Chain A
Amino acid sequence: MDLLYDTLFNGLAIGSVLVLAALGLAVVFGLMGVINMAHGELMMLGAYTTFVVQNIFKAVLPEALFPVYILVAIPLAFAVSGLVGLLLEKTVIRRLYGRPLETLLATWGVSLILQQFVRSVSSAFAIGLLLAVVGGLLVPRLTPKQWWQQRWTPLLGTGSWIVSGLIGIVVASLLGGQRVLDQPWFSARNIDVTAPVWLRGSIDVGAVNMPAARLFIIALTVVALVAVGWFLQKSVWGMRIRAVTQNRPMSDCLGIPTEKVDALTFLIGSGLAGVAGVAVTLLGSVGPNLGGNYIVDCFMVVVLGGVGKLAGTVLAALGIGVLSYIVGSGSLLLVWPAMPAGLNELITFFATTSMAKVLVFAVIVVFLQIRPAGLFPQKGRMVEA
Protein backbone atom coordinates (compact mmCIF):
# COMPACT_ATOMS: atom_id res chain seq x y z
CA MET A 1 0.00 0.00 0.00
CA ASP A 2 2.82 2.34 0.91
CA LEU A 3 4.34 1.57 -2.43
CA LEU A 4 1.11 2.58 -4.13
CA TYR A 5 1.05 5.93 -2.34
CA ASP A 6 4.71 6.40 -2.98
CA THR A 7 4.24 5.71 -6.67
CA LEU A 8 1.23 7.98 -6.87
CA PHE A 9 3.00 10.81 -5.12
CA ASN A 10 6.15 10.58 -7.18
CA GLY A 11 4.17 10.19 -10.39
CA LEU A 12 2.16 13.23 -9.41
CA ALA A 13 5.37 15.10 -8.64
CA ILE A 14 6.92 14.33 -12.04
CA GLY A 15 3.60 14.91 -13.78
CA SER A 16 2.97 18.28 -12.17
CA VAL A 17 6.24 19.63 -13.55
CA LEU A 18 5.14 18.44 -16.96
CA VAL A 19 1.71 20.04 -16.54
CA LEU A 20 3.22 23.35 -15.59
CA ALA A 21 5.75 23.25 -18.39
CA ALA A 22 3.26 22.13 -21.03
CA LEU A 23 0.34 24.30 -19.97
CA GLY A 24 1.46 27.41 -21.80
CA LEU A 25 2.40 25.38 -24.85
CA ALA A 26 -1.01 23.72 -24.88
CA VAL A 27 -2.86 27.03 -24.61
CA VAL A 28 -0.92 28.52 -27.52
CA PHE A 29 -1.11 25.40 -29.62
CA GLY A 30 -4.83 25.08 -28.99
CA LEU A 31 -5.55 28.62 -30.09
CA MET A 32 -3.17 29.20 -32.93
CA GLY A 33 -1.99 25.78 -33.98
CA VAL A 34 1.50 27.08 -33.38
CA ILE A 35 4.09 24.93 -31.70
CA ASN A 36 6.48 27.27 -30.02
CA MET A 37 9.92 25.66 -30.11
CA ALA A 38 11.24 28.54 -28.02
CA HIS A 39 8.95 27.56 -25.16
CA GLY A 40 11.82 25.87 -23.36
CA GLU A 41 13.92 29.03 -23.71
CA LEU A 42 11.09 31.09 -22.26
CA MET A 43 11.22 28.73 -19.29
CA MET A 44 14.93 29.39 -19.13
CA LEU A 45 14.28 33.13 -19.02
CA GLY A 46 11.95 32.51 -16.10
CA ALA A 47 14.67 30.59 -14.32
CA TYR A 48 17.20 33.36 -14.95
CA THR A 49 14.69 35.87 -13.61
CA THR A 50 14.55 33.79 -10.44
CA PHE A 51 18.33 33.97 -10.27
CA VAL A 52 18.32 37.74 -10.58
CA VAL A 53 15.56 38.15 -7.99
CA GLN A 54 17.43 35.87 -5.62
CA ASN A 55 20.60 37.92 -5.98
CA ILE A 56 18.75 41.18 -5.42
CA PHE A 57 17.22 39.77 -2.25
CA LYS A 58 20.62 38.56 -1.12
CA ALA A 59 22.38 41.82 -1.83
CA VAL A 60 19.88 44.54 -1.06
CA LEU A 61 17.05 43.42 1.17
CA PRO A 62 17.22 42.29 4.80
CA GLU A 63 17.96 38.65 5.30
CA ALA A 64 14.62 37.95 6.95
CA LEU A 65 12.92 38.56 3.62
CA PHE A 66 15.06 36.07 1.70
CA PRO A 67 12.71 33.07 2.14
CA VAL A 68 9.97 34.79 0.16
CA TYR A 69 12.10 35.64 -2.85
CA ILE A 70 10.65 32.78 -4.79
CA LEU A 71 7.13 34.13 -4.36
CA VAL A 72 8.28 37.47 -5.75
CA ALA A 73 10.05 35.71 -8.61
CA ILE A 74 6.87 34.04 -9.86
CA PRO A 75 5.00 37.15 -11.05
CA LEU A 76 8.23 38.70 -12.31
CA ALA A 77 9.12 35.62 -14.31
CA PHE A 78 5.61 35.64 -15.72
CA ALA A 79 6.10 39.24 -16.77
CA VAL A 80 9.56 38.79 -18.29
CA SER A 81 8.77 35.66 -20.28
CA GLY A 82 5.36 37.02 -21.20
CA LEU A 83 6.84 40.23 -22.60
CA VAL A 84 9.49 38.39 -24.54
CA GLY A 85 6.74 36.16 -25.87
CA LEU A 86 4.69 39.18 -26.83
CA LEU A 87 7.65 40.67 -28.67
CA LEU A 88 8.15 37.37 -30.46
CA GLU A 89 4.51 37.30 -31.48
CA LYS A 90 4.50 40.88 -32.71
CA THR A 91 7.70 40.57 -34.72
CA VAL A 92 7.89 37.03 -36.02
CA ILE A 93 4.91 34.80 -35.41
CA ARG A 94 2.39 37.33 -36.63
CA ARG A 95 3.92 37.19 -40.10
CA LEU A 96 3.59 33.45 -40.22
CA TYR A 97 0.00 32.69 -39.29
CA GLY A 98 -1.40 29.82 -41.25
CA ARG A 99 2.07 28.43 -41.85
CA PRO A 100 2.62 26.31 -38.75
CA LEU A 101 5.69 24.53 -40.06
CA GLU A 102 7.47 27.77 -40.86
CA THR A 103 6.55 28.99 -37.40
CA LEU A 104 8.14 25.88 -35.97
CA LEU A 105 11.41 26.65 -37.75
CA ALA A 106 11.32 30.34 -36.93
CA THR A 107 10.75 29.70 -33.23
CA TRP A 108 13.59 27.20 -33.28
CA GLY A 109 15.78 29.97 -34.63
CA VAL A 110 14.60 32.22 -31.84
CA SER A 111 15.41 29.54 -29.30
CA LEU A 112 18.99 29.33 -30.60
CA ILE A 113 19.38 33.09 -30.39
CA LEU A 114 17.98 33.23 -26.87
CA GLN A 115 20.31 30.47 -25.72
CA GLN A 116 23.37 32.16 -27.06
CA PHE A 117 22.10 35.51 -25.85
CA VAL A 118 22.15 34.52 -22.19
CA ARG A 119 25.59 33.02 -22.70
CA SER A 120 27.11 36.06 -24.33
CA VAL A 121 25.27 39.01 -22.89
CA SER A 122 27.50 41.49 -21.14
CA SER A 123 27.15 45.20 -20.59
CA ALA A 124 29.20 45.99 -23.68
CA PHE A 125 27.16 43.54 -25.67
CA ALA A 126 23.86 44.97 -24.42
CA ILE A 127 24.92 48.53 -25.25
CA GLY A 128 26.01 47.46 -28.71
CA LEU A 129 22.74 45.68 -29.29
CA LEU A 130 20.74 48.64 -28.06
CA LEU A 131 22.66 50.99 -30.36
CA ALA A 132 22.10 48.72 -33.33
CA VAL A 133 18.36 48.45 -32.73
CA VAL A 134 17.87 52.14 -31.98
CA GLY A 135 19.97 53.07 -35.01
CA GLY A 136 17.99 50.78 -37.25
CA LEU A 137 14.72 52.21 -35.97
CA LEU A 138 15.78 55.86 -36.09
CA VAL A 139 17.25 56.04 -39.60
CA PRO A 140 13.82 56.13 -41.28
CA ARG A 141 12.74 58.96 -38.96
CA LEU A 142 15.81 61.09 -39.49
CA THR A 143 16.08 60.84 -43.25
CA PRO A 144 13.99 62.69 -45.86
CA LYS A 145 10.63 61.09 -46.45
CA GLN A 146 11.01 60.79 -50.18
CA TRP A 147 14.00 58.47 -49.71
CA TRP A 148 11.54 55.94 -48.53
CA GLN A 149 9.45 55.93 -51.69
CA GLN A 150 12.19 55.07 -54.12
CA ARG A 151 13.09 52.02 -56.06
CA TRP A 152 16.12 51.55 -53.89
CA THR A 153 14.25 51.98 -50.66
CA PRO A 154 14.54 48.34 -49.67
CA LEU A 155 18.30 48.58 -50.11
CA LEU A 156 18.33 51.67 -47.95
CA GLY A 157 16.29 49.89 -45.30
CA THR A 158 18.51 46.85 -45.30
CA GLY A 159 21.62 48.97 -45.56
CA SER A 160 20.69 51.15 -42.62
CA TRP A 161 20.18 48.05 -40.51
CA ILE A 162 23.48 46.59 -41.63
CA VAL A 163 25.30 49.84 -40.91
CA SER A 164 23.71 50.28 -37.51
CA GLY A 165 24.43 46.63 -36.81
CA LEU A 166 28.07 47.18 -37.67
CA ILE A 167 28.18 50.27 -35.48
CA GLY A 168 26.74 48.18 -32.68
CA ILE A 169 29.42 45.53 -33.19
CA VAL A 170 32.21 48.09 -33.26
CA VAL A 171 30.95 49.83 -30.13
CA ALA A 172 30.50 46.50 -28.38
CA SER A 173 34.01 45.38 -29.18
CA LEU A 174 35.48 48.76 -28.21
CA LEU A 175 33.64 48.69 -24.89
CA GLY A 176 34.59 45.04 -24.56
CA GLY A 177 38.14 46.19 -23.90
CA GLN A 178 36.94 47.39 -20.51
CA ARG A 179 37.04 44.56 -17.99
CA VAL A 180 33.95 45.86 -16.17
CA LEU A 181 31.81 46.04 -19.27
CA ASP A 182 33.12 42.84 -20.78
CA GLN A 183 32.08 40.66 -17.84
CA PRO A 184 29.25 38.43 -19.05
CA TRP A 185 26.14 38.80 -16.96
CA PHE A 186 25.50 35.08 -16.73
CA SER A 187 28.15 33.42 -18.93
CA ALA A 188 27.81 29.92 -20.34
CA ARG A 189 28.22 28.44 -16.90
CA ASN A 190 25.30 27.12 -14.96
CA ILE A 191 24.12 29.49 -12.31
CA ASP A 192 23.31 28.73 -8.73
CA VAL A 193 19.71 29.19 -7.68
CA THR A 194 19.32 28.18 -4.07
CA ALA A 195 15.91 27.28 -2.75
CA PRO A 196 14.93 29.03 0.50
CA VAL A 197 15.30 26.81 3.55
CA TRP A 198 11.59 26.07 3.83
CA LEU A 199 11.68 24.42 0.43
CA ARG A 200 14.72 22.28 1.09
CA GLY A 201 13.34 19.85 3.65
CA SER A 202 10.70 17.20 3.40
CA ILE A 203 7.57 16.11 5.18
CA ASP A 204 6.72 12.52 6.08
CA VAL A 205 3.10 11.56 5.63
CA GLY A 206 2.68 7.97 6.69
CA ALA A 207 5.50 6.13 5.03
CA VAL A 208 5.64 8.52 2.10
CA ASN A 209 8.38 11.07 2.15
CA MET A 210 7.25 14.26 0.47
CA PRO A 211 9.94 16.78 -0.43
CA ALA A 212 8.75 20.31 0.23
CA ALA A 213 9.91 21.48 -3.18
CA ARG A 214 7.72 18.88 -4.86
CA LEU A 215 4.73 19.89 -2.75
CA PHE A 216 5.36 23.51 -3.65
CA ILE A 217 5.41 22.67 -7.35
CA ILE A 218 2.23 20.65 -7.08
CA ALA A 219 0.54 23.55 -5.30
CA LEU A 220 1.86 26.01 -7.88
CA THR A 221 0.56 23.79 -10.67
CA VAL A 222 -2.88 23.65 -9.08
CA VAL A 223 -2.94 27.42 -8.67
CA ALA A 224 -1.84 27.94 -12.26
CA LEU A 225 -4.46 25.50 -13.53
CA VAL A 226 -7.23 27.12 -11.52
CA ALA A 227 -6.17 30.57 -12.64
CA VAL A 228 -5.98 29.62 -16.31
CA GLY A 229 -9.25 27.70 -16.06
CA TRP A 230 -10.98 30.61 -14.41
CA PHE A 231 -9.59 33.06 -16.91
CA LEU A 232 -10.69 31.00 -19.89
CA GLN A 233 -14.12 30.15 -18.54
CA LYS A 234 -15.20 33.24 -16.65
CA SER A 235 -13.51 36.32 -18.04
CA VAL A 236 -14.51 38.23 -21.15
CA TRP A 237 -11.15 37.78 -22.81
CA GLY A 238 -11.18 34.13 -21.89
CA MET A 239 -14.45 33.75 -23.70
CA ARG A 240 -13.00 35.47 -26.72
CA ILE A 241 -10.02 33.18 -26.65
CA ARG A 242 -12.28 30.15 -26.56
CA ALA A 243 -14.35 31.54 -29.38
CA VAL A 244 -11.29 32.04 -31.58
CA THR A 245 -10.05 28.57 -30.69
CA GLN A 246 -13.31 27.06 -31.89
CA ASN A 247 -13.84 29.05 -35.04
CA ARG A 248 -11.50 31.78 -36.03
CA PRO A 249 -13.23 33.21 -39.14
CA MET A 250 -16.60 33.27 -37.46
CA SER A 251 -15.22 35.01 -34.39
CA ASP A 252 -13.55 37.52 -36.65
CA CYS A 253 -16.86 38.21 -38.35
CA LEU A 254 -18.56 38.76 -35.04
CA GLY A 255 -16.15 41.49 -34.17
CA ILE A 256 -13.74 39.74 -31.86
CA PRO A 257 -10.34 41.37 -32.28
CA THR A 258 -8.51 38.18 -33.21
CA GLU A 259 -5.14 39.90 -33.45
CA LYS A 260 -5.39 41.08 -29.88
CA VAL A 261 -6.63 37.68 -28.81
CA ASP A 262 -3.61 36.06 -30.43
CA ALA A 263 -1.20 38.44 -28.79
CA LEU A 264 -2.85 37.99 -25.41
CA THR A 265 -2.84 34.21 -25.68
CA PHE A 266 0.79 34.18 -26.63
CA LEU A 267 1.62 36.46 -23.74
CA ILE A 268 -0.19 34.18 -21.30
CA GLY A 269 1.34 31.04 -22.74
CA SER A 270 4.83 32.49 -22.59
CA GLY A 271 4.22 33.86 -19.11
CA LEU A 272 3.22 30.38 -17.93
CA ALA A 273 6.51 29.11 -19.33
CA GLY A 274 8.23 31.68 -17.13
CA VAL A 275 6.38 30.40 -14.07
CA ALA A 276 7.38 26.85 -14.96
CA GLY A 277 10.94 28.15 -15.18
CA VAL A 278 10.75 29.33 -11.57
CA ALA A 279 9.49 25.92 -10.52
CA VAL A 280 12.23 23.93 -12.20
CA THR A 281 14.96 25.91 -10.46
CA LEU A 282 13.93 23.97 -7.36
CA LEU A 283 14.66 20.68 -9.06
CA GLY A 284 17.47 21.00 -11.51
CA SER A 285 20.26 23.01 -12.93
CA VAL A 286 19.81 26.48 -14.33
CA GLY A 287 21.80 27.12 -17.45
CA PRO A 288 21.40 28.13 -21.08
CA ASN A 289 20.44 24.57 -22.03
CA LEU A 290 17.64 24.29 -19.50
CA GLY A 291 14.90 24.50 -22.10
CA GLY A 292 16.05 21.57 -24.16
CA ASN A 293 15.63 19.21 -21.24
CA TYR A 294 11.92 19.79 -21.02
CA ILE A 295 10.74 20.71 -24.46
CA VAL A 296 10.29 17.30 -26.04
CA ASP A 297 8.44 16.00 -22.98
CA CYS A 298 6.12 18.99 -23.27
CA PHE A 299 5.46 18.16 -26.90
CA MET A 300 4.54 14.64 -25.91
CA VAL A 301 2.07 15.95 -23.37
CA VAL A 302 0.43 18.18 -25.95
CA VAL A 303 0.25 15.42 -28.55
CA LEU A 304 -1.16 12.95 -26.06
CA GLY A 305 -3.56 15.39 -24.47
CA GLY A 306 -5.12 16.68 -27.63
CA VAL A 307 -6.01 20.24 -28.43
CA GLY A 308 -8.33 22.59 -26.69
CA LYS A 309 -9.04 20.99 -23.33
CA LEU A 310 -6.97 21.63 -20.23
CA ALA A 311 -8.14 18.33 -18.81
CA GLY A 312 -6.38 16.54 -21.65
CA THR A 313 -3.11 18.25 -20.86
CA VAL A 314 -3.38 17.46 -17.17
CA LEU A 315 -4.34 13.84 -17.67
CA ALA A 316 -1.64 13.28 -20.28
CA ALA A 317 1.06 14.84 -18.11
CA LEU A 318 0.09 12.87 -15.04
CA GLY A 319 -0.16 9.69 -17.08
CA ILE A 320 3.33 10.19 -18.49
CA GLY A 321 4.61 11.07 -15.01
CA VAL A 322 3.26 7.96 -13.32
CA LEU A 323 4.26 5.68 -16.17
CA SER A 324 7.83 6.93 -16.34
CA TYR A 325 8.16 6.67 -12.57
CA ILE A 326 6.85 3.11 -12.46
CA VAL A 327 9.04 1.97 -15.34
CA GLY A 328 12.11 3.97 -14.38
CA SER A 329 12.20 2.91 -10.73
CA GLY A 330 11.42 -0.72 -11.46
CA SER A 331 8.60 -0.72 -8.89
CA LEU A 332 6.84 -3.53 -10.71
CA LEU A 333 9.55 -5.91 -9.57
CA LEU A 334 8.73 -5.13 -5.96
CA VAL A 335 5.02 -5.70 -6.36
CA TRP A 336 5.45 -9.01 -8.07
CA PRO A 337 8.82 -10.42 -7.11
CA ALA A 338 8.00 -13.88 -8.42
CA MET A 339 7.34 -12.90 -12.00
CA PRO A 340 8.66 -15.15 -14.78
CA ALA A 341 12.34 -14.75 -15.57
CA GLY A 342 11.81 -13.46 -19.09
CA LEU A 343 9.47 -10.69 -18.01
CA ASN A 344 11.76 -9.85 -15.12
CA GLU A 345 14.64 -9.39 -17.50
CA LEU A 346 12.54 -7.22 -19.76
CA ILE A 347 11.46 -4.97 -16.92
CA THR A 348 14.97 -4.68 -15.57
CA PHE A 349 16.13 -3.76 -19.05
CA PHE A 350 13.76 -0.80 -19.11
CA ALA A 351 14.24 0.13 -15.45
CA THR A 352 16.68 2.94 -16.05
CA THR A 353 15.76 6.53 -16.66
CA SER A 354 17.01 6.42 -20.26
CA MET A 355 15.16 3.30 -21.19
CA ALA A 356 11.97 4.44 -19.45
CA LYS A 357 11.86 7.27 -21.97
CA VAL A 358 12.07 4.79 -24.80
CA LEU A 359 9.18 2.77 -23.43
CA VAL A 360 6.99 5.78 -22.65
CA PHE A 361 7.35 6.96 -26.22
CA ALA A 362 6.44 3.54 -27.58
CA VAL A 363 3.32 3.56 -25.42
CA ILE A 364 2.37 7.00 -26.74
CA VAL A 365 2.73 5.91 -30.36
CA VAL A 366 0.61 2.82 -29.69
CA PHE A 367 -1.97 4.95 -27.94
CA LEU A 368 -2.16 7.29 -30.92
CA GLN A 369 -3.10 4.30 -33.05
CA ILE A 370 -6.29 4.03 -30.99
CA ARG A 371 -6.95 7.72 -30.44
CA PRO A 372 -5.12 9.62 -33.17
CA ALA A 373 -6.25 13.01 -31.94
CA GLY A 374 -5.20 12.52 -28.35
CA LEU A 375 -7.19 11.96 -25.19
CA PHE A 376 -9.70 14.71 -25.72
CA PRO A 377 -10.01 15.41 -29.42
CA GLN A 378 -11.69 18.57 -30.50
CA LYS A 379 -15.05 17.80 -31.99
CA GLY A 380 -15.91 19.37 -35.27
CA ARG A 381 -17.15 18.71 -38.73
CA MET A 382 -14.09 19.84 -40.54
CA VAL A 383 -12.54 17.49 -43.06
CA GLU A 384 -9.26 17.88 -41.29
CA ALA A 385 -10.57 17.09 -37.86
Chain B
Amino acid sequence: MKGFWHDTVEFFPILMNGVALTIVVTIGSLLLSTVLGLVWAMMRVSGIKVLSTISASVINVIRGIPIIVLLFYLYFVMPDLGVTLSALQAAILGLGIAYSAYQAENFRAGIEAIDKGQIEAAQSIGMGWWLTMRRVVLPQAVRIVLPPYGNVMIMMLKDSSQASTITVAELALQGKLIASSTFKNTNVFTLVALMYLTMSIPLILLVRHFEKRAGKK
Protein backbone atom coordinates (compact mmCIF):
# COMPACT_ATOMS: atom_id res chain seq x y z
CA MET B 1 0.00 0.00 0.00
CA LYS B 2 3.07 2.26 -0.36
CA GLY B 3 2.17 5.68 -1.74
CA PHE B 4 -1.54 5.00 -1.67
CA TRP B 5 -2.52 8.64 -1.23
CA HIS B 6 -0.13 9.70 -3.90
CA ASP B 7 -1.50 7.15 -6.33
CA THR B 8 -5.03 8.03 -5.39
CA VAL B 9 -4.50 11.64 -6.35
CA GLU B 10 -2.88 10.59 -9.60
CA PHE B 11 -5.35 7.92 -10.74
CA PHE B 12 -8.58 9.28 -9.32
CA PRO B 13 -9.48 11.49 -12.29
CA ILE B 14 -9.00 8.63 -14.78
CA LEU B 15 -11.00 6.27 -12.61
CA MET B 16 -13.75 8.87 -12.37
CA ASN B 17 -14.17 8.57 -16.14
CA GLY B 18 -14.77 4.90 -15.50
CA VAL B 19 -17.27 5.72 -12.74
CA ALA B 20 -19.23 7.87 -15.18
CA LEU B 21 -19.56 4.95 -17.60
CA THR B 22 -20.37 2.56 -14.77
CA ILE B 23 -23.25 4.81 -13.77
CA VAL B 24 -24.47 5.13 -17.37
CA VAL B 25 -24.42 1.35 -17.85
CA THR B 26 -26.12 0.73 -14.48
CA ILE B 27 -28.91 3.27 -14.94
CA GLY B 28 -29.45 2.34 -18.60
CA SER B 29 -29.73 -1.37 -17.91
CA LEU B 30 -31.78 -0.75 -14.76
CA LEU B 31 -34.39 1.17 -16.76
CA LEU B 32 -34.42 -1.41 -19.55
CA SER B 33 -34.66 -4.35 -17.15
CA THR B 34 -37.50 -2.63 -15.27
CA VAL B 35 -39.56 -2.05 -18.39
CA LEU B 36 -38.87 -5.52 -19.81
CA GLY B 37 -39.43 -7.12 -16.40
CA LEU B 38 -42.80 -5.39 -16.10
CA VAL B 39 -43.78 -6.62 -19.56
CA TRP B 40 -42.81 -10.24 -18.73
CA ALA B 41 -44.59 -10.05 -15.36
CA MET B 42 -47.78 -8.61 -16.86
CA MET B 43 -47.78 -11.30 -19.55
CA ARG B 44 -47.25 -13.89 -16.85
CA VAL B 45 -50.25 -12.80 -14.75
CA SER B 46 -52.47 -11.84 -17.71
CA GLY B 47 -54.41 -15.08 -17.47
CA ILE B 48 -53.91 -15.56 -21.22
CA LYS B 49 -52.22 -18.92 -21.73
CA VAL B 50 -50.16 -18.00 -24.81
CA LEU B 51 -48.75 -14.87 -23.22
CA SER B 52 -47.86 -16.50 -19.92
CA THR B 53 -46.19 -19.43 -21.69
CA ILE B 54 -44.12 -17.11 -23.88
CA SER B 55 -43.14 -15.06 -20.85
CA ALA B 56 -42.18 -18.13 -18.80
CA SER B 57 -40.04 -19.47 -21.67
CA VAL B 58 -38.30 -16.15 -22.25
CA ILE B 59 -37.52 -15.85 -18.54
CA ASN B 60 -36.07 -19.36 -18.42
CA VAL B 61 -33.92 -18.85 -21.52
CA ILE B 62 -32.54 -15.60 -20.14
CA ARG B 63 -31.90 -17.16 -16.73
CA GLY B 64 -30.07 -20.07 -18.31
CA ILE B 65 -27.49 -17.97 -20.13
CA PRO B 66 -24.57 -16.32 -18.30
CA ILE B 67 -24.51 -12.53 -18.58
CA ILE B 68 -21.05 -12.61 -20.10
CA VAL B 69 -22.17 -14.93 -22.91
CA LEU B 70 -25.16 -12.69 -23.57
CA LEU B 71 -22.79 -9.73 -23.86
CA PHE B 72 -20.47 -11.61 -26.23
CA TYR B 73 -23.45 -12.60 -28.30
CA LEU B 74 -24.74 -9.05 -28.64
CA TYR B 75 -21.32 -7.52 -29.29
CA PHE B 76 -19.56 -10.15 -31.39
CA VAL B 77 -22.33 -12.21 -33.02
CA MET B 78 -24.95 -9.57 -33.85
CA PRO B 79 -22.66 -7.82 -36.38
CA ASP B 80 -22.59 -11.09 -38.36
CA LEU B 81 -26.37 -10.88 -38.46
CA GLY B 82 -26.19 -7.32 -39.74
CA VAL B 83 -26.84 -5.53 -36.44
CA THR B 84 -23.87 -3.55 -35.21
CA LEU B 85 -24.04 -2.18 -31.70
CA SER B 86 -21.56 0.04 -29.93
CA ALA B 87 -19.95 -1.56 -26.88
CA LEU B 88 -21.99 0.69 -24.60
CA GLN B 89 -25.26 -0.16 -26.38
CA ALA B 90 -24.48 -3.87 -26.23
CA ALA B 91 -23.63 -3.63 -22.52
CA ILE B 92 -26.85 -1.84 -21.60
CA LEU B 93 -28.93 -4.14 -23.78
CA GLY B 94 -27.24 -7.31 -22.46
CA LEU B 95 -27.40 -6.41 -18.78
CA GLY B 96 -30.93 -5.07 -19.21
CA ILE B 97 -32.15 -8.29 -20.81
CA ALA B 98 -30.30 -10.50 -18.33
CA TYR B 99 -31.74 -8.70 -15.32
CA SER B 100 -35.25 -8.43 -16.77
CA ALA B 101 -35.76 -12.09 -15.84
CA TYR B 102 -35.05 -11.42 -12.15
CA GLN B 103 -37.09 -8.22 -12.21
CA ALA B 104 -40.00 -10.12 -13.76
CA GLU B 105 -39.99 -12.79 -11.05
CA ASN B 106 -39.79 -10.10 -8.39
CA PHE B 107 -42.68 -8.12 -9.88
CA ARG B 108 -44.75 -11.25 -10.31
CA ALA B 109 -44.25 -12.23 -6.68
CA GLY B 110 -45.35 -8.73 -5.65
CA ILE B 111 -48.45 -8.83 -7.82
CA GLU B 112 -49.43 -12.30 -6.65
CA ALA B 113 -49.03 -11.29 -3.02
CA ILE B 114 -51.99 -8.93 -3.34
CA ASP B 115 -55.12 -10.33 -1.69
CA LYS B 116 -57.55 -11.84 -4.19
CA GLY B 117 -60.35 -9.91 -2.49
CA GLN B 118 -58.79 -6.69 -3.75
CA ILE B 119 -59.09 -7.85 -7.34
CA GLU B 120 -62.66 -9.02 -6.78
CA ALA B 121 -63.58 -5.67 -5.24
CA ALA B 122 -62.12 -3.91 -8.26
CA GLN B 123 -64.00 -6.18 -10.64
CA SER B 124 -67.21 -5.74 -8.70
CA ILE B 125 -67.18 -2.00 -9.39
CA GLY B 126 -66.72 -2.72 -13.08
CA MET B 127 -62.96 -2.36 -13.45
CA GLY B 128 -61.35 -4.22 -16.33
CA TRP B 129 -58.00 -6.01 -16.16
CA TRP B 130 -55.80 -3.04 -16.92
CA LEU B 131 -57.66 -0.60 -14.66
CA THR B 132 -57.51 -3.15 -11.82
CA MET B 133 -53.75 -3.44 -12.32
CA ARG B 134 -53.17 0.29 -12.54
CA ARG B 135 -55.44 1.49 -9.75
CA VAL B 136 -55.52 -1.42 -7.29
CA VAL B 137 -52.81 -4.07 -7.73
CA LEU B 138 -49.66 -2.24 -8.84
CA PRO B 139 -49.82 0.60 -6.27
CA GLN B 140 -49.99 -2.01 -3.51
CA ALA B 141 -47.42 -4.30 -5.11
CA VAL B 142 -44.84 -1.50 -5.26
CA ARG B 143 -44.43 -1.56 -1.47
CA ILE B 144 -43.71 -5.28 -1.54
CA VAL B 145 -41.45 -5.11 -4.56
CA LEU B 146 -39.24 -2.17 -3.55
CA PRO B 147 -36.82 -3.87 -1.11
CA PRO B 148 -35.83 -6.66 -3.54
CA TYR B 149 -35.76 -4.05 -6.31
CA GLY B 150 -33.15 -2.14 -4.33
CA ASN B 151 -31.08 -5.30 -4.02
CA VAL B 152 -31.23 -5.75 -7.78
CA MET B 153 -29.93 -2.19 -8.16
CA ILE B 154 -26.90 -3.06 -6.04
CA MET B 155 -26.25 -6.25 -8.00
CA MET B 156 -26.55 -4.37 -11.29
CA LEU B 157 -24.09 -1.73 -10.16
CA LYS B 158 -21.52 -4.45 -9.49
CA ASP B 159 -22.38 -6.53 -12.54
CA SER B 160 -21.94 -3.51 -14.78
CA SER B 161 -18.23 -4.41 -14.43
CA GLN B 162 -18.92 -7.29 -16.80
CA ALA B 163 -19.25 -4.69 -19.55
CA SER B 164 -15.45 -4.48 -19.36
CA THR B 165 -15.32 -7.80 -21.23
CA ILE B 166 -16.69 -6.10 -24.32
CA THR B 167 -14.37 -3.08 -24.06
CA VAL B 168 -16.63 -0.64 -22.22
CA ALA B 169 -14.11 1.44 -20.30
CA GLU B 170 -16.04 1.55 -17.06
CA LEU B 171 -14.50 1.55 -13.60
CA ALA B 172 -13.21 -2.04 -13.55
CA LEU B 173 -11.64 -1.81 -16.99
CA GLN B 174 -10.06 1.59 -16.27
CA GLY B 175 -8.58 0.07 -13.12
CA LYS B 176 -7.25 -2.90 -15.01
CA LEU B 177 -5.68 -0.68 -17.68
CA ILE B 178 -3.95 1.49 -15.10
CA ALA B 179 -2.80 -1.51 -13.11
CA SER B 180 -1.32 -3.29 -16.10
CA SER B 181 0.57 -0.23 -17.23
CA THR B 182 1.86 0.83 -13.79
CA PHE B 183 2.08 -2.55 -12.02
CA LYS B 184 0.55 -0.89 -8.94
CA ASN B 185 -2.00 -3.66 -8.59
CA THR B 186 -2.61 -3.28 -4.87
CA ASN B 187 -3.18 0.42 -4.79
CA VAL B 188 -5.23 0.57 -7.98
CA PHE B 189 -7.57 -2.30 -7.21
CA THR B 190 -8.00 -1.19 -3.61
CA LEU B 191 -9.03 2.17 -4.94
CA VAL B 192 -11.41 0.56 -7.44
CA ALA B 193 -12.98 -1.56 -4.70
CA LEU B 194 -13.42 1.48 -2.46
CA MET B 195 -15.10 3.39 -5.28
CA TYR B 196 -17.59 0.57 -5.92
CA LEU B 197 -18.26 0.39 -2.20
CA THR B 198 -18.83 4.15 -2.04
CA MET B 199 -21.45 3.86 -4.77
CA SER B 200 -23.09 0.85 -3.14
CA ILE B 201 -23.50 2.30 0.34
CA PRO B 202 -26.23 4.82 -0.56
CA LEU B 203 -28.11 2.01 -2.30
CA ILE B 204 -27.72 -0.27 0.72
CA LEU B 205 -29.16 2.48 2.92
CA LEU B 206 -31.99 2.95 0.43
CA VAL B 207 -32.87 -0.75 0.63
CA ARG B 208 -32.90 -0.54 4.41
CA HIS B 209 -35.29 2.42 4.16
CA PHE B 210 -37.57 0.49 1.77
CA GLU B 211 -37.58 -2.49 4.13
CA LYS B 212 -38.55 -0.37 7.08
CA ARG B 213 -41.37 1.23 5.13
CA ALA B 214 -42.65 -2.08 3.82
CA GLY B 215 -42.53 -3.55 7.31
CA LYS B 216 -44.47 -0.67 8.86
CA LYS B 217 -47.65 -0.83 6.77
Asked if chains A and B come from one complex, the reply is no
What is A's interface to B at a CB cutoff of 8 Å? none
What is B's interface to A at a CB cutoff of 8 Å? none
